[in-house]
A and B are shown apart, each in its own frame.
Chain A
Amino acid sequence: MLSRHGMILEAKMKNDNAWFLKFFAAIVLSVAIPGLCHDISYAAVTDPVVIVKDAVDEIISILQDEKLATPNRRVERKSRVVAIVEKKFDFREMSMRTLARHWQERSPEEQDRFVVLFKTLLENTYIAKIETYSGEKVVFKKSALQGNKAIVYSELVRKSVETPVNYKLKNSDDRWMVYDVEVEGVSLVNNYRTQFASILDKENFAGLLARLEEKVKKGAVE
């Protein structure tokens, strides 16, 4: 729009006098200023890529910080990473999705207990892996958006292997939160959903919680 007016303006400048020029300048400005304001307000909309990238960059910078790598600061290092992850990952949404139809059948207390256990399980197994960090890079490739959901495509680059990792995000209350991670095409949530479903086929919910608790305890000892 703006450039079109610019062209008209230029064309007019050749033929008409300054009076006309001012008149058109006024029109252009009246069109452009709301347009610019529009731009500014839209710039506040955050691209989900930025959300994930910021978190990953922050985590990598913590992992690269040699001062934090000493054994006596290990706990601090982990808790700092956990803090970042907790801000960006919606563990409740993930729990809901992994339990699927079983979620509705549980009491709020059971749901809360499950969220805590599932979160701890993920923290133990994935966040504990930060101890083995050795210079891996994350390359963000592209993103897709629809409605209140987004998928951020990235690649974990190790020296010998490149692994595609896709983050799925949901926007609620103006915050983008990750609700699933897809590694090499395998959805984490769906993988757990299948495992939980097969356990719940044979055992009751208490049995599942017991198995989770056992797993979490084992992870905490290591």
Chain B
Amino acid sequence: MKNHDSFFPPFYRVCFCCFAIWLGSMTIAFGQGVAVDDEPAFGEERDIGLASDPLEPVNRAFFHFNDKLYFWVVKPASQGYSYLIAEDVRMCVRSFLKNLLAPVRIVNNLLQGKVADSGIETARFVINSTLGIAGLADPAKKEFGLPPKDEDLGQTLGVYGVGEGIYFCWPFFGPSNVRDTVGLAGDFFLNPVSYLAMSDVGAGVAVGAGKEVNNTSLTLGDYEDFKESAIDPYIALRDAYRQYRQKKIRDVAVGSDSMYISSSGKIEKTYAQDMSAQSSAELDFVPVPADDYFVPVPADDYFVQVGTSLDTEKVLHMREALLAMNKESVVKVYDRGGENFYVLEVPAGKKFELAKQEAKRLCASGFSEARVGQ
């Protein structure tokens, strides 16, 4: 029906689609003027409000359908399957199917401007497809310390400021919204299984169903627990989906490689500065002229970085000492190759001059490493 040459025109179409979507989302982003992101107070959840759900009756019906589908079809199938197939094999299948989706992650990391992460995903794909035997294993994470950087088009659109739109609960596919549904449709072109489905619909559906059964067999009981804990499972799932997606978009606290503060680019910069500051502080005891420490940075919020350390105790002591001086401080924790790297900061307002004075005061009261940061 379809010859092999027809693979390439779709490939160009994919590129064109991505470019068009990127262009479109940029237009939307700039047109709207991206809303100022106000960080919620530490330890508090961002208020994401209530979901816009005008289709609630229909969604509830589909939620009910999916629920029954799970208990009557997917769960028994998964149980039978897990009885027949060893857990290790099922984990390999999951890993293989995840590896196939690498193009989605590589492209979306790029679309979000996360060039380094896109490189990591590419490296993961190359390593896992070769050393990991077509993606059956994940040596990239286990041996090379390269964790997956999970991004999709729904997240990309979110990053560019596209709102979620109304909530959907699709039959078979489950919770989603307008933005993520558009994203899913876009990512379809980057998914190799889609091309299989285009040439043979039956095979595509079989792969999809097989993936569902395989992955469910590894997390049997999770859905039951979730339903058990909820007063209104429909609302609970809707809210959980929204919270999960919001955090995915903001890259906060989902997954093991995440950091406390979101925007990754900014962190890496501060992190690099910290490292040089720390080593110079360790090497020589000659006090650096205070002014050399203060590099003006164009920013709206300044803080005084009081100290950096790999030692939890040391940071806690410094924090206590600051508290004794009536100064609130923030401990930021970065993951440096499995080790925790702590940075202690005192918020210093929006004026660089004031932040500089604060840093000088802290320097004078014994925190010799104190300097202004952004």
Residues of A within 8 A of B (CB): 1, 3-4, 7, 38-39, 42-43, 45, 47, 49, 121-122, 125-126, 129, 132, 141-147, 149-151, 153, 155, 159-162, 164, 166, 168, 170, 180, 182, 184-187, 189-192, 194-199, 211-212, 215, 219
Contact = CB atoms under 8 A, between A and B. Distances in A.
A191 B243 contact: yes
A142 B316 contact: no
A1 B321 CA distance: 15
Nearest to A132: B221
B231 A215 contact: yes
A52 to B, nearest CB: 14
A195 B45 contact: no
Interface of B: 42-43, 45, 50, 87, 90-91, 94, 218-219, 221, 225, 228-232, 235-236, 238-240, 243-244, 247-248, 252-256, 258, 260, 285, 312-313, 316-317, 319-321, 328-333, 335, 340, 366
Contact of A146 (B235, B312, B329): B329
A146 B254 contact: no
A82 to B, nearest CB: 17
B235 A195 contact: yes
8 contacts: A42-B313, A155-B256, A160-B91, A180-B43, A180-B45, A191-B239, A212-B231, A215-B231
Contacts of B225: 125, 129
Given A45-B316, A196-B231, A199-B231, A143 B333 contact: yes
B254 A184 contact: yes
- For A42, A155, A185, the residue with the greatest tally of chain B CB atoms inside 10 Å of its CB is A185
Contact of B43 (A142, A150, A192): A150
Contact of B231 (A38, A151, A211): A211
Contacts of A215: 231
Given A39-B317, A187-B45, A142 B333 contact: yes
- For A39, A192, A197, the residue with the greatest tally of chain B CB atoms inside 10 Å of its CB is A192
B45 A198 contact: no
A196 B94 CA distance: 36
A189 B229 CA distance: 12
A162 B229 contact: no
Contact of A45 (B42, B255, B320, B332): B320
A126 B229 CA distance: 8
Given A121-B229, A185-B254, 8 more contacts: A42-B321, A125-B225, A143-B333, A146-B328, A146-B329, A150-B43, A185-B253, A195-B231
B256 A162 contact: yes
A189 B45 CA distance: 9
B260 A185 contact: no
Contact of B42 (A126, A146, A190): A146
Nearest to B241: A186
A185 B252 contact: yes
B236 A191 contact: yes
A7 B236 CA distance: 62
Given A45-B320, A129-B225, A195 B239 contact: yes
Nearest to A41: B320
A42 B316 contact: yes
A3 B332 CA distance: 26
B251 to A, nearest CB: 10
Contacts of B90: 160
A3 B238 CA distance: 57
A161 B43 contact: no
A172 to B, nearest CB: 13
A153 B253 contact: yes
Contacts of B329: 146
A142 B235 contact: no
A219 B321 CA distance: 48
Contact of B87 (A42, A159, A164, A166): A159
A198 B340 CA distance: 41
Given A142-B340, A144-B333, A194-B235, A161 B244 contact: no
Contact of B228 (A42, A125, A184, A185): A125
Contact of B331 (A144, A180, A191): A144
